[in-house]
């Protein structure tokens, strides 16, 4: 393959819903509505965790990081998706595609690590409450959060660096709404075995290890809770980790549904399945960030109290 042909691709075309133009306006309104809910819900959570001194604890510090991460994750892709619904020719530059892949990959990996660290916080709070102020001091939980961002960014840098070094010498049409890394790798005119192996190792580290860590943490948490003699005590202890557990189930549940569902072997239904796969992937990226603030608001008395306090304070100042 000549070098001139290998370097010919300077932009990619995103198919999105090009084959279903009648659906574009409907999904534009739906996706925009979900995005605004994500910005509002997570923005309010960040605000209350900063302004309310009662929420200056490790758990709410991690929650603020999670909300900021969800805003970054959706902002890395949703504006591109919305623009694609309104633009006849949906293109993105090679460098823009690389940046979008980097941000999405980094945010996803960081969230996996962050959820694991939040599980550790709940483990210490319930299983070793007397040592909690020492074990989860500010000198500990701040570096923990920073390390999750660094780990996610480093992993993304490795994966995207390997991807952009591949030659793209022909087809530049990505059958997706965004620059989803697997869809991009399919366009490379070279062996992608190293990329596949690297992503497999990363999945074990950033998906498998946090899942096992969360599972083990909650085994100890539930064992400790069941040893509490009073029903009221058990209820109070469980309420402190129920929101995090719900978020974990939603986050990993959607991943399992998306990647674990069987593929259709009917060639006639390939187009329909292809469309459903793209839509499931799109809504997966929106569902968890949208539900996180709702879950933490509905299942957490401290957050609800803080929100009410800030609303009342704003009305009083007016």
Q: Which of 70, 52, 79, 107 is nearest to 291 (CA)?
A: 70
Task: Identify any residues that bridge with 196 across adjacent strands, giving them in sequence order.
Answer: none
**In a structure prediction context, what are the per-residue pLDDT tens digits for the chain, which is 318 residues long?**
444 444 567 788 888 777 777 788 888 999 999 999 999 999 988 988 888 888 889 999 999 999 999 999 999 889 888 888 887 777 888 888 999 999 988 998 999 999 999 999 999 999 999 999 999 999 999 999 999 999 999 999 999 999 988 888 777 888 888 888 888 888 888 888 999 999 999 989 998 899 999 999 999 999 999 998 888 888 888 888 888 888 888 888 777 766 655 555 444 444 555 667 777 777 778 888 998 888 877 666 777 777 676 666 666 665
Outline where 128-269 has alpha helix (H): 132-135, 138-164, 181-185, 193-203, 209-226, 231-260
Output the six-digit token pair for 186.
Answer: 């399919």
Q: Which of 42, 98, 48, 97 is nearest to 74 (CA)?
A: 42
Note the pTM of the prediction, 2 decimals.
Answer: 0.85
Task: Identify any residues that bridge with 13 across adjacent strands, giving them in sequence order.
Answer: 91, 173
Enumerate domains of the chain plus CATH numbers: 11-255+283-317 (1.20.1070.10)
Helix %, strand %, coil % of the chain (to 5): 80, 5, 20
Task: Identify any residues that bridge with 92 across adjacent strands, giving them in sequence order.
Answer: 12
């Amino acid at each position: 393959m000549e070098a001139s042909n290998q370097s010919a691709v300077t932009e990619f075309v995103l198919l999105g819903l090009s084959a279903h133009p009648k659906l574009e306006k409907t999904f534009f309104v739906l996706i925009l509505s979900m995005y605004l809910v994500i910005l509002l819900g997570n923005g309010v959570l960040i605000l209350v965790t900063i302004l309310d001194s009662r929420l200056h604890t490790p758990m709410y510090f991690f929650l603020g990081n999670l909300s900021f991460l969800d805003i970054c994750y959706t902002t890395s892709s949703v504006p591109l998706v919305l623009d694609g619904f309104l633009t006849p020719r949906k293109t993105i530059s090679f460098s823009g595609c690389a940046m979008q892949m980097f941000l999405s990959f980094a945010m996803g990996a960081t969230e996996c690590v962050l959820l694991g660290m939040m599980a550790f916080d709940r483990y210490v709070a319930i299983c070793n409450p007397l040592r909690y102020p020492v074990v989860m001091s500010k000198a500990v939980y701040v570096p923990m959060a920073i390390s999750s961002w660094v780990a996610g960014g480093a992993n993304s840098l490795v994966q995207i660096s390997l991807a952009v070094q591949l030659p793209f010498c022909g087809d530049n049409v990505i059958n997706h709404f965004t620059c989803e890394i697997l869809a991009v790798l399919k366009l490379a005119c070279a062996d992608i075995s190293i990329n596949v192996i690297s992503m497999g190792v990363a999945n074990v580290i950033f998906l498998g290890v946090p899942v096992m860590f969360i599972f083990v943490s909650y085994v100890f948490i539930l064992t400790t809770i069941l040893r509490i003699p009073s029903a009221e005590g058990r209820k109070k202890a469980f309420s402190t980790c129920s929101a995090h557990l719900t978020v974990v189930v939603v986050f990993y549940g959607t991943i399992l549904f998306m990647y674990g569902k069987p593929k259709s072997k009917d060639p006639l239904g390939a187009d329909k399945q292809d469309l459903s796969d793209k839509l499931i992937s799109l809504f997966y990226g929106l569902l968890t960030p949208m539900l996180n603030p709702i879950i933490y608001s509905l299942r957490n008395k401290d957050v609800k109290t803080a929100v009410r306090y800030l609303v009342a304070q704003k009305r009083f100042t007016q």
